[in-house]
Amino acid sequence: MDRIRIVGGNALNGIIPISGAKNAALPLMIASLLTSDTLTLENVPHLADVEGLIRILGNHGVDIAVNGRREHQDGSYSRTVHFTCRTVADTTAPYELVSKMRASFWVIGPLLAREGQARVSLPGGCAIGTRPVDLFIEGLTALGAEMEIDGGYINAKAPKGGLIGARYTFPKVSVGATHVMLMAASLARGTTVIGNAAREPEVVDLANCLNAMGAKISGAGTSTITIEGVTSLSGARHRVLPDRIETGTYAMAVAMTGGDVTLSGTDISLLDTAIEAIRRAGAEVSAVDGGIRVIGHGDAIRPVDIVTEPFPGFPTDLQAQFMGLMTRANGISHVTETIFENRFMHVQELARLGAKITLSGQTARIEGVTRLRGAPVMATDLRASVSLVIGGLAAEGETMVSRVYHLDRGFERLEEKLTRCGAIVERISD
């Protein structure tokens, strides 16, 4: 199993190219199940989760052609992938595949809309809470589907003639359930109005792509989305939006180590709340042509309290990284997690680097320390693991992060991007 070795203490200086967003790419890829034409996606990141979903879509009958990478001067590359699902080969998504990646559960939406039925295993995914599927069941039931749980699977069946547009308000905001409703309602008869919809940029990206395929969706990015159903969708070409979580992660790394880095190919407006928190912590962050410039001052980090919330609030996917930054602040800060109930697994690992953190319910109290010391640590989930990398970059001496397959799910060429900016980071394959 691979490990990542970090020798901390170096400031970061240079350019870090930001990849296409994993959380946008996954639902966009799944949308290819809605049409028999080719959906072409540009800027698809090369990540374990994307490759896993490629295999899952292949099982449903999607032909996939990957175009070679184009290298750019700043070290970035982008992949264009063509997805064609002439006919759906299988409407079952088996446990062996869905349990590896929760987002693959979302195939339930397009399969039900296009084929009138789907049998999808209940999901697995990151160990960050129970993550139920009640909102998917309620939403699809509102569109007329019969939903039945049987032996670890959900059997979904559309009424004769297909799904029927309806008004449905989510009792709780869910990104995944909003994606699924957008895809399902696009091919339903009549108009659907979704209330309390997720407002994340990835939802807007999916709506834009579906509209390019011929869907009639308005209001994405607000909490009320209206979808006028159409009888069929066509192919389209769409560019995956930049990864705001990767952007925020590297911005926090620079705030922590000090230095001057341009994050290229990204957009500051995707993460206003996180940028505001990073600025309050003392780093200078500004929009520049084609990206964001971050100037960090290393030791002079100020304590800042944050609370995770659905977009446009502070993203839960940046919570662990921000806590990493706060471990070196000049004072006490609080980080409160409101989205997932078990998302503090990084706390004990950060403590191994010398951080002083106490947990009380959903809030962590972080007492900043003047220095962190490198140590062997273990990655526990995707975002938690990158907080350990950030900690290691700022720590004295060597940090060895094991179980890096978690990182490979969501961070493209992490070692290379950091090394180009002066960090000492290497992958060790045993």
Task: State in angstroms the smallest separation of the CB of 87 from ligand UD1.
Answer: 27
Residue closer to ligand UD1 (CB basis): 129 or 152 = 129
**Binds ligand UD1 by CB under 6 A, chosen from 23, 43, 78, 186:** 23
Exposure pattern of 142-181 as b/e (b: 16+ CB <10 Å)?
bbbbebeeeeebbbbebeeebbbbbebebeebbbbbbbbb
CA dihedral angle for residue 124, residue 125, residue 127, residue 128, rounded to 10 degrees: -110
Task: State in angstroms the smallest separation of the CB of 121 from ligand UD1.
Answer: 15
Residue closer to ligand UD1 (CB basis): 12 or 126 = 126
Task: State in angstroms the smallest separation of the CB of 14 from ligand UD1.
Answer: 27
Residue closer to ligand UD1 (CB basis): 103 or 255 = 103
**Binds ligand UD1 by CB under 6 A, chosen from 136, 314, 322, 411:** 136
Cβ-Cβ contacts under 8 Å for 90 (sequence gap 6 or more): 59, 60, 61
**Binds ligand UD1 by CB under 6 A, chosen from 17, 110, 162, 176:** 176
Catalytic-residue membership of 126: yes
Task: State in angstroms the smallest separation of the CB of 39 from ligand UD1.
Answer: 18
Please identify, among the stretches 2-10, 79-87, 175-183, 299-307, the one whose residues bind ligand UD1 according to the rule CB under 6 A. 175-183
Q: Which stretches does DSSP call E strand in 197-308?
A: 216-218, 225-228, 236-239, 259-264, 284-288, 291-296, 306-307
Residue closer to ligand UD1 (CB basis): 128 or 301 = 128
Under the phi-then-psi rule, with left for phi > 0, alpha for psi from -120 to 50, and beta for the rest, what region is 98? alpha
Rounded Cα distance, 129 and 108, in Å? 22
Rounded Cα distance, 141 and 312, in Å? 28
Q: What's the burial of 285, exposed, middle or buried (CB within 10 Å: 0-12/13-18/19+)?
A: buried
Binding mask 301-340 for ligand UD1 (x = CB under 6 A): ---------------xx---------------------xx
Q: Which entry of 85, 126, 209, 421 is annotated as an active-site residue?
A: 126
Cβ atoms within 10 Å, residue 370: 8
Rounded Cα distance, 206 and 183, in Å? 9
β-strand pairing of 398-402 with 376-378: parallel
> Counting contacts by CB under 6 A, is residue 51 touching ligand UD1?
no
Which residue carries 């129970």 as its tokens? 130
**Binds ligand UD1 by CB under 6 A, chosen from 55, 66, 132, 232:** 132
Residue closer to ligand UD1 (CB basis): 388 or 425 = 388
> Counting contacts by CB under 6 A, is residue 135 touching ligand UD1?
yes
Task: State in angstroms the smallest separation of the CB of 47 from ligand UD1.
Answer: 11
Active-site residues, by number, are 126
- Footprint of ligand UD1 on this chain (CB under 6 A)? 23, 26, 102-103, 129, 131-136, 172, 174-177, 202, 316-317, 339-340
